[in-house]
Structure formats: structure tokens, C-alpha cells
Structure 1
Amino acid sequence: MANQINVAKQDLSDFPKLPFGIRHNLMDNPLLSLDRLVALAASMPRDSIEYNSGKVAIDQNPETVPLVEMDPVEVVRRIREANAWLVLKRVERDPAYAALLKEVLDGFARDLGHADAAAAGFTSIEGFVFVSSPNATTPFHSDPEDNFFVQIHGEKFFHIIDNQDGAVVSDADLEFAPSAHRNLSYKPEFEARARVFSMDAGDGCFVPYQWPHWVRTGANYSVSMAITWKSTEVKRRNRLLFVNALLRKAGLPQPSPGRRPALDAVKIAAYTGLRAALEPLRRVQGLRTQHGK
């Protein structure tokens, strides 16, 4: 089976450290047509759909995001004139979309010399479909996973900012504070460090773990999909950043990941132990919720 995405050989040598452009053949897939996405939105629980006005700032305050007074299914149906931004989260819970994501990452894994995505260490595979009105903005933020972002319809401009030296976004802002919003503080001078991917249908880019970015659409409505996964190292780092956020919130600033490997290992072990202790309580709470208690 032919691969769904194409990556230049020179970019494979730097994977997954640096962003790069890709080409793909997903733009004609019926699962990503607007009519099919209307049906998908109608089938999803409302807490799996996030949407708001597309008229937001790059450094938008999350407490003042303008909302759209419309049902999310209607937002997708009327995206051309809705002035909205919407994301369908975790689409892999639908078997057809799960199969599509696996097919894409299996093909890429073969390019890397692996049998399939699992052999390449691509775990926790998830899909997020974005449906945006013309001239909409996604504010500056970073994501806790690696990501192939593919453009299906319309034009999108993807600004990825180089923060490898930590000069743009601090360690503290990249930690996972339990109550923190994903939006990050932005300054126009960050653009000197940006790589901008101008994408039409059939284009895409690889967004490395925690590289901050912001996005805007062009003059037509946009449909895009993020195909995300977590490697063993990404999962380890996420656990460490979560613990660092908790300790920082308690007034104990933490060294950057990797500065004190022994301490990092202790924190990850603590996270694992705490999660194991809380899991039975979560299961009980889940049963109570299911039975309306």
C-alpha cells in the first residue's frame, strides 16, 4: 500500500528534532469531507468538541476568548460564514478514523525502517480535526506530543517558533500546571525565529514535541487534521513536567529536565506511584458516574 504522506530523505535524518514540510494524499479522503465531518460532529459527545470565534489574537487571553452562539454541528455546516474555529478531538474513537491514523503512521514508520507504527514506538495515537472559517487564528501555544499536521481544504499559514534555547518560552511555561491554559505569551519579535509553512490542500508539516506555534487561515474555509503520537521519551518527559509544575506551584522552582538526571528519575517514580494509588479511586468514580450515583 502506498504511503499517505511523503517526507524528504534529508528530513528523516533529523526526525523528530526539527520541523519539516510534507506532502500527503489525504485531501480526497471521504472521511475528511465537510459533509462527513458534519456527521462526525453530530455523533461526538459535546466535551470532545471545542469551538469559539476565529477572531482572536495571537496572544489571546484565554479568559476573554469570544464565543460563537451556535450548535457545534451547525458551526461545521456553516463554517464558510460562521467566523469560527472548531476542533473535533480524539477522532480515533471512531474506528474508521482510527484505521486512517494507523495507516498514515504505519507508512511513515516503514520509511524509518520499522515494520509499523508500534515497532517505531508511536504510541497513544490520536487525531484532531480542525474546521476553521476564513481568516481565523489559532493562538500561540505548544503541544505535549509529536504531530503530523495535514491540510485538507483551504489555505493555512503555520508559524513554528524555534525555542531550543528556551529564550522564547520558559521551562515554567512549558510545564503542565493542572489549571494552566495551553496559550502562551507571544511577542512579534518571535517571528525572527519562525519557520512559516504556507499550506494548501495536500501540504503539511511535522511539528516536534513542544515547539511553540500559532496558525492562521487564508481567504477560504479550512479543514486540517493533526495526527499525534507519543514516544516513550515524550511520555517520560511529560510525567516529569507534570511533577515539576506541581512542585513549582508549591513554591519549589525546579531545574530544567536533563539537568539533574537522578532527581528526574525520582520525580518520575513518584509520578508513577501516585498514579497507581489514584487509579482505583478513578475507576470507582467512573462506575458511580455511569450509574448516576
Structure 2
Amino acid sequence: MNPMSAVAAIEPVDQSAFAANFPMQPFSLRHHLAGNPLFTLPNIIDLVRHLPADSIEYNSGDAAIGQDASQTKFIDLDPEQVVRSIETAGAWMVLKRVEQHPAYRAVIEDCLNALARAHGHADLEEAGFEDLRGFMFVSSPNATTPFHVDAEDNIFVHIHGEKFFTICDNRDGSVVSDDAIEHSLTKHRNVTYSADFEQKSKCYSLNAGDGVFVPYLWPHWVRTGSQYSISMAVTWKTKAVMRKNDIFVVNSLLRRFGFPQAAPGRNPALDTVKLALFRSVKAVVDPLRKSLAMRALIRKLVLGRDANYYMKAKQAA
């Protein structure tokens, strides 16, 4: 793989909108990744070969906006074949944690440093950006990513083809409830969709060089156009986001044992106790995550028996 990282600066399309809305509302942005050789199919195939199996997920792109996760259609191809035949495979693929490869890590850091500076910060540390990650999407024409929420802030950069990215405003909790968010973050990302949500949504039409900021926990769904598509979600978490995510996980664990839980923030004192206990255990468990088998076991113990659903799907394909 060519280790060269092209200039990866990103910038808001409307600086005043960015200044007013970040990080609470979406905004459009531009980037300079479309000509970067790291995001061509041959180099993506090389990346697939280097990523661990639990960093690769794919299925049919023929999905409903409100897709029932248990009814997801799979495809009978291995990961390299999916990328090689992406124009005709009818597939949707995500390569997770691409920052594991140094060249992609450099691109991700370039993007987020540019965002931090645009917001008046000297660097990532001053901006409070932690746990930097990259999720690359490689999709066939007319593929759908169902309605879901993400557990981090995200600048979504589009690199090849055309994408229609619809983001729904859920700040009042009327679209996705706290319980549904907990399920999405700990079981499966898909959440229930209704056509009524269109009244609270905005669709961003993205071509190569376009992007959009997706705030933490804002539900969204995506459709590709008539060409195959390459995009990347460049994500980060703040300490506040990590705290809330950890409480969602603890609540899910306790709920499995029959203990009803209040959503994060409803009982701050109890949240603090739960968080301290969880992070004490997490500090012991995290060093064990080096092996694929151990990561799968930990996901199953913490998130439930279906936590490795995407690996099972790949093996069955």
C-alpha cells in the first residue's frame, strides 16, 4: 500500500453556520481526499488484507430504511471479492477502525486537526478530541444504510460516486427514545423508522469532495447513487460522550439481569457510582483485547450473545 497521505484538510462550507452550530447541529463541509490514492479500490483491497476479521462487516445493500436487523440479506462473497466486484455485487461494506493502519491514521489526524483549528483550537488535545477512529464505507450502486444512531461525533467525507445522506433531528427525543438509543449502542445500530420522521430530517446530496458533520446520537440513513461509492466517517469522542456511552453499556448489562435503569443523566449520583465500577473492570479487561477470539468473547459477555452478529454473518456468507 502506498503510505503517502495527501493533504487532507477539511473546511466548513459556511463558516458562520459552523461557528454557530458545532458540535450541536449538522453542517456541510468540503475536503481534499478525493484524489488520495489510499481511497482507490486497489489500496482498499490491500487494507482489507491487513485488517482483523472483526474490523470488516458487509451484507447486501438491498435494505429498507427501517431494516429489521434480523432479516438482513447477506452475500456469498469474501471481503476482497466484495471490493473487486463492488460495481455489480449489490453490497454494502464498512471497514472499521482503519486508523489501525498508519497511513489512514495520518489522514484522520489531518482532518480532525483541521476541524479543531477551524473551531479556534491549537490542536486535538485542546479541542478535547479523543479516541480517533475511521470507518470506511464501500458500497455498490443503489445501496441503503438503514436508519441508525452512532456513538460518536462524525465528519463524514465522501470520496467517490454520489450519496444521499439524510439526518434527523432528535434533540427532543421524539424520534428515537433513550431506551432505543441504548439498544442501538449495545445491541444493533438500526432503529425503528417512520416516514413521519421526514418532517424533522434534512437530506445532504454528496459528491466527491463533499461532506457533512453528524452530531453524536443524531439518527440518519444513507443511500448511494448510480455509481459505486467510497466514503469515510472520521470520528472522535469527548470525555462527556465517553462517559455517557459507558453508562449506556452499564445500563444494558444491568437490564439483562432484570434491573430497570434510568437513562444517563437522570440520576447523576448513581451514574457516577456505576461509571466508577464499570471503568475499574474495564481497566482490567482492556489489555485482554489483543486477540480476535478474546475480543469476540468480551463483546459477547458485555453486549450479549448477538454482539458478534456481523462476524457470524460473514462466516455464513
Q: TM-score, normalised by structure 2?
A: 0.85
CA distance in 2, matches of 1:249, 1:47: 24
Identical aligned residues as a percent: 51
Aligned to 2:115: 108
The equivalent of 1:148 in structure 2 is 155
C-alpha deviation, 1:151, in angstroms: 0.6
Is this contact kept in 1: 2:57–2:94, CA < 8 A?
yes
Q: Does 1:9 align with 2:39?
A: no
Q: Report runs of 4+ in structure 1 exceeding 6 Å deviation.
A: none
- Post-superposition Cα deviations, 1:130-153, rounded to whole Å, max 9, x if no partner, equal 010000000111110110001101
Superposition RMSD on alpha carbons, in Å? 2.3
Q: Count matched residues.
A: 288
2: CA distance, partners of 1:126 / 1:277: 23
CA contact (8 A) 2:149 2:184 kept: no
Q: Which residue of 2 aligns with 1:203?
A: 210
Q: Tell me how far apart the structure 2 counterparts of residues 137 and 33 of structure 1 sit (CA, whole Å).
A: 21
Contact 2:60–2:74 (CA under 8 A) maintained in structure 1: yes
Partner deviation per Cα, 1:26-45 (whole Å, 9 max, x = no partner): 11111111221122112222
Identify which of 152, 155, 158 aligns with 2:165. Answer: 158
> Comparing both structures, which one devotes a greater share of its residues to helix?
2
Q: 1:204 to 1:176 in 2, by over 3 A?
A: same
Question: Match of 2:87?
Answer: 80
Q: What corresponds to 1:192 in structure 2?
A: 199
Seen in structure 2, the aligned counterparts of structure 1 residues 279 and 85 have a Cα distance that, compared at 3 Å, is closer
- For the residue of structure 2 that corresponds to 1:76, the secondary structure is helix
Give the Cα separation in 2 of the matches to 1:166 and 1:90.
29
The residue matched to 1:229 in structure 2 has which SS?
A: strand
Unaligned ranges ≥5, structure 2 = 1-5, 295-317
**8 A contact 2:133–2:235 mirrored in 1:** yes
Q: What TM-score results when the alignment is normalised by the length of structure 1? A: 0.91
Post-superposition offset of 1:88? 1.1
C-alpha distance 165-249 of structure 1, shift in aligned 2 (>3 A): farther
Using the alignment, how far apart are the partners of 1:267 and 1:176 within structure 2? 18
Q: Tell me how far apart the structure 2 counterparts of residues 124 and 249 of structure 1 sit (CA, whole Å).
A: 28
Question: Relative to structure 2, which stretch is displaced further, 271-280 or 74-83?
Answer: 271-280
Q: Deviations over 1:84-136 (max 9, x none)?
A: 01111111111111111111111111112222112211111011110100000
1:48 alignment counterpart: 55
Q: Helix, strand or coil for the counterpart of 1:228?
A: strand
Q: How does 1:245-284 map to 2 (within 5 A)?
A: 245-279=252-286, 282=288
Bigger shift: 144-153 or 259-268? 259-268
Kindly indicate whether residue 133 of structure 2 is the aligned counterpart of residue 132 of structure 1.
Answer: no
The CA distance in 2 between the partners of 1:180 and 1:279, in whole Å, is 20
1:177, 1:246 within 8 Å by CA — same for their partners in 2? no
Query: What is the match of residue 126 of structure 2?
Result: 119
2:11 and 2:114 in contact (8 A); partners too: no
Distance in 2 (alpha carbons) for counterparts of 1:250 and 1:166 = 26
Larger mean CA deviation between 70-79 and 245-254 belongs to: 245-254
Q: Distance in 2 between matches of 1:84 and 1:73?
A: 12
The answer as to whether partners of 1:153 and 1:200 remain within 8 angstroms in 2 is yes
Question: CA separation in 2, counterparts of 1:216 and 1:177?
Answer: 20
Match of 1:28 among 17, 31, 35: 35
Q: Could you tell me how far apart the structure 2 residues matched to 1:216 and 1:84 are?
A: 12
1:64 aligns with 2:64: no
SS of alignment partner, residue 164 of structure 2 = strand
Residue type at the aligned position of 2:134? G
Whole-angstrom CA distance in 2 between matches of 1:164 and 1:253: 24
Could you tell me which runs of 5 or more consecutive residues in structure 1 were left unpaired when the two chains were aligned: none
Alpha-carbon separation, structure 2, partners of 1:278 and 1:46? 20
Structure 2 SS opposite 1:175? helix
Aligned equivalents of 1:153, 1:235: Cα separation in 2: 32
Give 2:170's aligned amino acid: N
Distance in 2 (CA, whole Å) between partners of 1:119 and 1:161 is 29
